[in-house]
Structure 1
């Protein structure tokens, strides 16, 4: 059967992981092939040291990046990197304000797809097409860091998935099996609630968590890749019955959320699950390491719902990249670090420190649960539709979905109104909906 365009996108995601046996490797050392203007990198005893600022939205990654940065600094003694992370929900505003004021960090973590590439479109980022090793990334992985001018502005960081984690011990204690379908998920949630167990660790205070959760629930209802392909052609949209039903399903889960869930943020819900006060937790692969840091003994697994073919679907995307400030006074040093980030060494350290799938080709993943995520991605993945394809508009269509879902959980909007709002936003800029 001829594969659809979205299927090609999905199948190439794991080209960058060892599970597909990627053979490409990056042998460039982090202290060769530098670009940019000449500057004093302080490699000789009495020369001044270059200090780079590096900003991220991942507060929980601070200790891991200290180890990674130390590895780079050992082979680049003239460069020191100061890592600083901000709260995820505040990061975009802080970064944009700094860049607009002709300042900002030398190195910055970029949101994936258009959300991050809008900074390149505005002239704030340095092109990275000539960075040694950048050409080793799979083409569809690079698309997440490619701007409208066709240039690459970020070194891709990781391949993510989103799924429903569950506490294995709590399921066994309650005599509950891993659900496979939507109806079974509702039955599982009801059974847990009836036994006095909070079914889901869930919060609606941070809007981005809602589109992430919808990314788990929706594909099994709207049909995964087939629906995504129709949307890209304008043959289906957000008013299609299958998409509207997926919004209704998000509402159906509300009785199984914690009390006052509209006021809970990511830290609250992670803590609920990690401390075993809730049985299930809808979240991304990137939260596996933080939850285990809270409770190293947590016995956790995950599941995803079956698609129309009876096989479990898993929602995937390329998450984030690292870019260089176009106005950095230390571009040469910053580009050296970009080169390091494209190496197998960096990819291996990233995967091991954070229990995530590196976007660097050929990096092996040893953690069994991360391995399972990667294997499922290889077999039956579907893209995170609203993130990958609908990051434009003002506000973006993705933001409209998130804000509308918040409104729905506050009983200010109906599921139909949510779908209508998202469709109206997309029609304002998405060419296939203007036919």
Structure 2
């Protein structure tokens, strides 16, 4: 999956590329679900409709498994999954909401998309829902309104970390770095041995904000986001500038002519073992392995600048599920959302989509994905551009991406990047403190 800038449609829906789930049907479990359902009198059955932009067959198959697991606790609830093609989802949902024909449970676009629907009065607040305590504050804000009420249960996490070639690391006696200095020493060792340290290309803007989101927390600090929201820190502050300077400092370790390389090139360089590392989202792993199934790949979190600090992976919530305020089945829908906060549900998502669940403690049989999932739950830092800079016209996220492209073309200095980005943010952002 490629994360791109999220823009608002007519009712404020956020446009985003949907992640394709991986998984097949489970006839045995589906049959069990049917048996469980038949134990409940038909008169007591409740059909809960669910709509989503994930319309692939794998998603339809996943809902059969979700149905079976749900019926172990709520045998009376029948899920009616109504997927809509991703490119048509926003328009379809807009019409359904305005005509009061929308599904009981709505798959919400993250952050600004969910906020827009909540602010428009289309969603039922779910504050106090059993199980919300299983999610972190950073995860929950993906589905909150401007009133700070909760309107959705986080679905899955996307994460960005450093993937590396185990064979190349072993050849040059390199270990997973414990600090940023260790990472730079490893990059220098590889470069001296004529191995390109990082696969990277700046042709596509979203790749730049993705990488910045991964490494920036080690330079502006774990508390920067909170300070930014309160107006205690700004984009043109010295600490945020350090994160841009860090991006610039990696340029000597990128491939030749990286300014003209896109994500397909980046993926190919790493898959064909022409580079030792890539700072990338977990969603690229399947595509990388498709190019080279024999690739010996592992992952580590971005190491801390301060040896006493904590390594981080950049995470963001890829959608949430909320309740239609005009639903006739709110009680049953709430039960479904409560189920979506459980480890049983989280395990289904992780094992079938290969995407980390925001619910801690779930595991998969894939050791690499399991490792990334664990890092996502224990070493998470928010993807700053997606979470906090996705407003404005153009969005400040898009502005950051363009400025970073200019920096790598030597048309802008890091200082100019933060100054111009601050101007973009000033057009729409009002710190929380300003309203007090």
Give the TM-score, by structure 1 length.
0.69
Larger displacement relative to structure 2 (380-389 or 399-408): 380-389
Cα pair 1:117 1:147 within 8 Å, conserved? yes
Cα pair 1:136 1:361 within 8 Å, conserved? no
Match of 1:253 in 2: 250
Quote the Cα distance in structure 2 between the aligned partners of 1:286 and 1:389: 21
Change (3 A) 1:399 1:331: farther
Match of 1:206 in 2: 204
Match of 2:81 in 1: 81
- In the alignment of these two chains, the number of paired residues is 381
Match of 2:275 in 1: 278
Quote the Cα distance in structure 2 between the aligned partners of 1:145 and 1:406: 31
SS of structure 2 residue aligned to 1:81: strand
> Within 5 Å, which residues of 2 pair with 1:99-118?
99=93, 109-118=107-116
Q: Which has the higher contact order (CA 8 A, sep 6+)?
A: 1
Match of 1:17 in 2: none
Match of 2:346 in 1: 347
> Within 5 Å, which residues of 2 pair with 1:26-425?
54-56=52-54, 62=56, 64-72=58-66, 81=81, 83=83, 86=86, 95-99=89-93, 109-123=107-121, 125-127=122-124, 129=126, 135=132, 137-138=134-135, 140=137, 141-222=139-220, 224-292=221-289, 294-303=291-300, 304-323=302-321, 341-360=340-359, 363-364=362-363, 367-373=366-372, 376=375, 381-425=380-424
Cα pair 1:218 1:246 within 8 Å, conserved? yes
Quote the Cα distance in structure 1 between the aligned partners of 2:58 and 2:131: 23
Change (3 A) 1:198 1:358: same
Give CA deviations for 1:386-414 in whole Å, capped at 9, x if unaligned: 43334333333333222321332344433
SS of structure 2 residue aligned to 1:199: strand
Task: Report how far residue 423 of structure 1 moved.
Answer: 1.5
Task: Report how far residue 270 of structure 1 moved.
Answer: 3.0
Larger displacement relative to structure 2 (293-302 or 328-337): 328-337
Change (3 A) 1:135 1:311: closer
Quote the Cα distance in structure 2 between the aligned partners of 1:108 and 1:326: 7
Change (3 A) 1:51 1:103: same
Structure 1 regions of 5+ residues with no counterpart?
1-28, 32-42
Give the TM-score, by structure 2 length.
0.69
Match of 1:24 in 2: none
Give CA deviations for 1:78-133 in whole Å, capped at 9, x if unaligned: 765365665xxxx6xx654555566899576544333542343345x533628975
Cα pair 2:356 2:369 within 8 Å, conserved? yes
Task: Report how far residue 350 of structure 1 moved.
Answer: 0.9
Quote the Cα distance in structure 1 between the aligned partners of 2:173 and 2:148: 53
Change (3 A) 1:80 1:378: closer
Task: Report how far residue 416 of structure 1 moved.
Answer: 1.7
Change (3 A) 1:366 1:307: farther
SS of structure 2 residue aligned to 1:165: strand
Structure 2 regions of 5+ residues with no counterpart?
1-31, 35-40
Task: Report how far residue 65 of structure 1 moved.
Answer: 2.5
Change (3 A) 1:320 1:181: same
Change (3 A) 1:310 1:85: farther
SS of structure 2 residue aligned to 1:358: coil
Change (3 A) 1:290 1:430: farther
Task: Report how far residue 364 of structure 1 moved.
Answer: 4.0
Task: Report how far residue 349 of structure 1 moved.
Answer: 1.2
Match of 1:38 in 2: none
